[in-house]
Amino acid sequence: MNITNKNSWENPNSFVEIRSPWLTLIGEHLQDKQGQIIDYWRVEKADSVIILTIQSEELLLPIATYRPGLGKKTLDFPGGRVPSGQTPVAAVPKILQRELGITEAAIIHLSPLNTTGWAINSSFSNQKLYGFVAKIDSTVSISNELLGAVYPTTKSGILSLLEDLTCLQCRALLLEWQIQTFYC
């Protein structure tokens, strides 16, 4: 292998690619800045959406869901992947319907927390995270079978929620919402 540019990473070749409906795993030989060839693994995934769902000054979270990577159930905001060919904002109503039983008509205001998407793990994955705040009509009832937790949007409510959230993406979006709501 003859690679001449030692100032930047180079991608001489891929040695494996495994595709599944959830992700594509790619093994590559990369040349680092010192000229050494290393085996590097990366994952390509669809972008994700997480929605802070607010009704009557309370944050609504769906029931805890089993997370295979952690081997346990965790409390998270509603979220999911952005289907191919769809925009992040278009994915929001289906996610809220699936996770909290909220219809699109019940969403009285939807606003993005970030418009360009944040890299989830830029050294390992191409996946971006988009966050939204959905304000829900106060007259809409949420099924107890779907509702996992409710936290007031007060300082003490948010601090309590931060104690219960283990998902870094959920925490980042909650803190971004706080900054945009209370400091801008």
| Run of H or E including 137 | none
Residue 102 · residue 142 · CB < 8 Å: yes
Q: Are 6 and 33 in contact (CB under 8 A)?
A: yes
pTM of the model: 0.89
Q: What pLDDT score does 79 carry? A: 97
Q: Structural domain boundaries of the chain?
A: 10-44, 48-182
Rounded to the nearest 5°, which phi and psi values hold at 152? -65, 150
The number of residues in the chain equals 184
What pLDDT does residue 11 have? 64
Over the chain (184 residues), the average pLDDT of each successive run of 10 is 52 87 92 86 95 98 93 96 96 98 98 95 92 98 96 96 95 95 81
- CATH code for the structural domain at 48-182: 3.90.79.10
**pLDDT given for residue 45 in this prediction:** 94
Cβ count within 10 A of residue 66: 9
Q: How much is the pLDDT for 1? A: 44
Residue 33: the pLDDT is 82
**So what's the pLDDT on residue 10?**
66
What would the two tokens of residue 98 be?
Answer: 């699936």
The per-residue pLDDT for 159 is 95
C-alpha separations of 77 from 48, 94, 133, 173 in Å: 12, 14, 11, 10
Task: Report which of 146, 159, 37, 31 is spatially closest to residue 98, judged by C-alpha positions.
Answer: 146
Residue closest to 53 by CA, chosen among 14, 92, 3: 92
Region of 180 on the Ramachandran plot (φ > 0 left; ψ -120 to 50 alpha; else beta): alpha
Q: What is the CA radius of gyration of the chain?
A: 20
